[in-house]
Structure 1
Amino acid sequence: MSAGWTEERVTRLKELWGSGKTAAQIADELGDVTRNAVIGKANRLGLSKPGRPRATKPKPAMNRTLNRPIQPRQEAAPKEVSEPLTPPPPPGALPQHRRCQFPIGHPGEDDFHFCDHETSTGKPYCEYHCSIAYRQRVAAA
């Protein structure tokens, strides 16, 4: 059975903690208390390790669906690709599946059209529009 945290035991805990003793050593000296009880009381009292200021870290935002912290998104540096200066090939010069399908303008307006430049391999867009439409994967740190 624990003797409880009397004012005298709390004062002694603070002295021993400040002297740099480990929680196990403090528990032995106080007697009838566990190492974890010493650590818990020290935390509740706001004591820190000697020589180390107590730092409080903000809690990360949680993804409630996945029940884990939300990782900050690291933006990849955009690829340096300039807009194509060459005009697209004439209609019918490339098969439909090799023409860039990036929309230019707003649907329903007279000047709406698709880019029509040659696509990147396996992508529906040309190299320039791929750099706009897709994000670069960032290697995990």
Structure 2
Amino acid sequence: MWMEGVMSAGWTDERVSRLKELWGTGMTAAQIADELGDVTRNAVIGKANRLGLSKPGRPRAPKPKPARNRTLNRPIQPRPEVRDELPPEPLAPPPPPGALPQHRRCQFPIGHPGEDDFHFCDHETETGKPYCAYHCRVAYRQRVAAA
């Protein structure tokens, strides 16, 4: 549906040719629109962009770089190393079933799910953790400051 009062620019070959001539003269898009008649400044800019025209002597501005996070402007510190040694496994067997409530039994998986020997550790957990002291040291590895 066509709206009243909207200018229609029929971009004929003659009008495109005239746009190309005027575009390189240094005229503004508004001046070119007035010269061509029956066209808006935005229509001129849009057509010029689609034609790949640029103003002579006006190189396209480089895209602005995104703002940098000030915390990233600090010198890069070497990452701390992660200890590769594991603590020795607990020697004591887990308490018998029923000796501890389920929420106090270590939930560290041993083996692979679906295999016959798959089970959970079942030793008593550390306070506030889902694992026993040994598996807390395995699961929550400590970082060592670089020397």
Superposition TM-score, scaled by structure 2 size: 0.43
Q: What TM-score, normalized to structure 1?
A: 0.45
- Higher relative contact order structure (alpha carbons within 8 Å, sequence separation ≥ 6): 2
**Is the radius of gyration larger for structure 1 or structure 2?**
2
